[in-house]
Structure 1
């Protein structure tokens, strides 16, 4: 999952940069959205992983 999140962030960064250079506001905004979505997914995945680790500790 984490690689997909990083890919989405990278894809967003490329779109944002190209949109900025070409003065294409729609593409730039789409890139910003992709970056934010990828980062949010990464945060959620990290929280799930930490919660599962905590649950495993209580099970032992």
Structure 2
């Protein structure tokens, strides 16, 4: 898996836990998935779906 670019990490919102990121993803108006960033160690959201698990329906 390619490493997250620092510029991408810095401009994304950071979540302290996967649960917090999951709640934000479910509340979003578009389909998002949380992932743990290999740069900062926190969670971000992505709209990329390849290889990501499905979220429960809100």
TM-score category, normalised to shorter length = under 0.3
TM-score (norm 1): 0.21
- Larger fraction in helix: 1
- Larger fraction in strand: 2
TM-score (norm 2): 0.21
